[in-house]
């Protein structure tokens, strides 16, 4: 069913230069979709475009270098969709950054703001900008990427968790609102577990990436695409994903906090000194 469902669908993907964004692009190219791709990484985006063209030479690919935290870039992305394809069926708000990867007292306000601007406001701008295109279709879909860290707060990720909790709340509200006005526009909230992507790039998160980010991105993205066809509103998949979801639902926070604290084994102990300058 999925192999033919996306044929000729016009699909916009942010963060397409690597990881899950590249996986969405290549999987959809194999199914004959028309792709609109963006990323801040020009070199990586060009590599994705080359892969997509090799997989599906029958469809034109449109692309642009784009910072999802800039509303004017979203307007240009929308204009590109109209100019190249005349509209859009599906928006995958995939772009994201890992955040400060520090405890909150060691984090700069500028880093926290950047994480929210990319991970949360990038989703908000995308939804607001593309909804006028999506509602014109007989079938359309918005796919917003939260995280299992949209269920729990973890050490060294207060800004990242805040952004993914925000995406979760925003998307859950959006799916209820749209269902009453344009029910043909599906809204999907994705909570990936530990997926093997390039989001954890810093030296500080190397141990975390090796231990936790193990699910292949193609596998994760194929599950999402299949669940969109089934109109499953919440999609939870990847290493530790279901486990984290159910622990967050079933355990009192007092007990959950003790389990989450095990993540402190992967952090820089120097940043957890009572003498840290962030406490002064």
Strand pairing of 34-39 and 234-237? unpaired
Distance CA 186, CA 100 (A): 33
Of the chain, the percentage scoring pLDDT greater than 70 comes to: 94
pLDDT digits (tens, 9 = 90+) for 3-46: 589 999 999 999 999 999 999 999 999 999 999 999 999 999 99
Residue 241 in this model has a pLDDT that exceeds 70: yes
pLDDT digits (tens, 9 = 90+) for 162-214: 999 999 999 999 999 999 999 999 999 999 998 877 654 555 555 555 567 77
pLDDT digits (tens, 9 = 90+) for 114-152: 999 999 999 999 999 999 999 999 999 999 999 999 999
Among 36-40, 80-84, 105-109, 184-188, name the one with the lowest average pLDDT: 105-109
Where exactly are the structural domains of the chain? 2-270
Q: Under CATH, domain 2-270 is a member of which superfamily?
A: NAD(P)-binding Rossmann-like Domain (3.40.50.720)
**Please, what sign has the CA dihedral across residues 170, 171, 177, 182?**
positive
Identify whether 24 is a catalytic site residue: no
Catalytic residue among 160, 170, 237, 245: 160
């Amino acid at each position: 069913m999925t192999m033919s469902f996306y044929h000729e669908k016009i699909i916009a993907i942010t963060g397409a230069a690597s990881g899950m964004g590249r996986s969405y692009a290549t999987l959809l190219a194999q199914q004959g979709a028309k792709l609109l791709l963006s990323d801040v990484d020009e070199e990586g985006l060009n590599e994705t475009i080359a892969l997509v063209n090799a997989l599906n030479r029958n469809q034109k690919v449109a692309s642009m270098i784009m910072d999802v935290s800039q509303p004017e870039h979203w307007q240009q992305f929308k204009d590109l969709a109209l100019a190249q394809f005349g509209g859009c069926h599906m928006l995958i708000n995939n772009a994201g950054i890992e955040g400060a990867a520090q405890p909150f007292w060691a984090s700069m306000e500028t880093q926290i703001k950047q994480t929210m601007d990319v991970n949360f406001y990038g989703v908000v701008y995308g939804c607001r900008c593309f909804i006028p295109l999506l509602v014109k279709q007989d079938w359309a879909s918005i796919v917003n990427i939260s995280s299992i860290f949209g269920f729990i707060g973890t050490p060294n990720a207060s800004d990242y968790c805040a952004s993914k909790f925000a995406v979760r709340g925003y998307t859950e509200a959006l799916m209820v609102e749209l269902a009453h006005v344009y029910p043909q526009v599906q809204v999907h909230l994705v909570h990936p577990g530990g997926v093997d992507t390039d989001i954890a790039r810093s030296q500080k998160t190397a141990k975390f990436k090796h231990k936790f980010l193990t699910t292949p991105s193609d596998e994760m993205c194929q599950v999402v695409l299949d669940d969109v066809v089934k109109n499953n509103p919440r999609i939870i998949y990847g290493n530790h994903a279901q486990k984290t979801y159910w622990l967050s639902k079933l355990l009192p926070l007092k007990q959950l906090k003790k389990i989450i604290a095990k993540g402190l084994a992967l952090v820089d102990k120097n940043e957890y000194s009572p003498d840290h300058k962030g406490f002064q």
